Amino acid sequence: MPSHRPHDPFPGAAIADQVRQHGIHDPRLLDVLARLSREKFVPPDERRHALDDRAIPIGQEQTISQPFMVAVMTQELALSGTERVLEIGTGSGYQAAVLSELASEVFTIERLVTLSLRARAILDGLGRTNIRYLVGDGTLGWPAEAPFDRILVTAGAPGFPSALFNQLIEGGILVAPVGDEFSQELTIIQKQNGRPESRSIMGCRFVKLIGAEGWSNP
């Protein structure tokens, strides 16, 4: 092995290939995934698994989501590039990195300060200047910055996220895993004439959304 590796412009090529094989076709999204290094968002002792299509522990009992889930959720947001997006559950920052390339602004909320700061350091290092960070209970949204064109919840909610729905523009899309603590349905909610139109597209398993409109403290 040479001690110095030349810069690889496609560190996420294997991830893009895997999700493509599982039916993700959006070329912009695949390009973003191929250019992004998931390794950077994974703790050193888990790096050898960074390209596996599964969730990986990132400390504090939390995980970086499975790449396929990141791709499906992002695709469901149907981003054109002009949107202001709210993400609940910054976690590793990987999903925020993907969103920051496909939307105009990303607002991301994390309840655990250590994770928020770590994600921010990585994303600042990548030169992402269109991401804003908040530490707190994301189930209450970010009222000072509302409304949002899109909202993505990356932790499992026990029920319909009403405070978040209220912070969505008319015609906006909210994506959230909704269910019990062991399994959820990935639910796509669109605001139509002020009312939610929901459909669930697949089963999934996320860590718990903890907060006022989530699960109570662990």
Vertex 91: Cα angle to 87 and 92 (nearest 5)? 115
Cβ proximity of 67 and 95 under 8 Å: no
**Integer Cα distance of 153 and 174 in angstroms:** 8
* Residue 184 sits in the site that holds ligand SAH (CB under 6 A): no
Indicate the residue among 34 and 115 with the shorter CB distance to ligand SAH. Answer: 115
**Integer Cα distance of 34 and 40 in angstroms:** 14
**Integer Cα distance of 109 and 57 in angstroms:** 19
Indicate the residue among 114 and 192 with the shorter CB distance to ligand SAH. Answer: 114
* Residue 95 sits in the site that holds ligand SAH (CB under 6 A): yes
Which residues partner with 134 through β-bridges?
A: 109
Q: Min. distance of Cβ 74 from ligand SAH in angstroms?
A: 10
Q: Min. distance of Cβ 46 from ligand SAH in angstroms?
A: 12
Please, which of residues 103-142 interact with ligand SAH by CB under 6 A? 109-112, 115, 137-139
Point out which residues bind ligand SAH (CB under 6 A).
62-65, 88-89, 91-92, 94-95, 109-112, 115, 137-139, 154-155, 207, 209-211, 214
